[in-house]
Amino acid sequence: MRAGIFAGLAAVAAAAAAVALAADLPTSTAVAERGSLKVVSRALLAPRSAELMGVWLDARRQCSEQRRLRVSILVDLVRGSTTTRKSRSRLGLVANCAEGGPNFGFTVTPSGLGMSCASGRWKPGRYVFVVRTFDAVSQLRAVATLSHEETRRC
């Protein structure tokens, strides 16, 4: 049964990546693994938001099992010689067998980060998104980075 869940998860992740690519939305995924345990980080950028999430997966463990993960994010906006940096961190229990991929972390908006045009879109400039997912028990850390340049004027 768990093998089917992981196959389904892989299909959902592939479909999400295909949708992001079709919409020309940048995405980045990182996986750290030891044995059957995987720790995953993902950054997915949209015109008016970014999903910066982490998760853990282990086919040898029950889906009801939980692990304490720390998801830390860093968002840099470079405009000319000025860099605006925002960071956040979250610690919590996360269940195994996450459907749809990484689901613990942050959904941020440009306005929430102070990086928005009046329309709510990302300001012009170069963005770097970093998502770190850390499992203290296994010491596994997955780090996804996404770089994007917004060239449209506000």
Residue 19 has pLDDT above 50, yes or no: no
60 CB-near residues (< 8 Å, 6+ apart): 2, 35, 36
81 CB-near residues (< 8 Å, 6+ apart): none
Q: Is 117 helix (H, G, I), strand (E, B) or coil?
A: coil
Q: How many CA atoms lie within 13 A of 38 on its CB side?
A: 20
Predicted TM-score (pTM) of this structure: 0.84
Average pLDDT, the chain: 88
23 CB-near residues (< 8 Å, 6+ apart): none
How is the chain split into domains, by residue range?
2-150
In this prediction, residue 24 carries a pLDDT of: 77
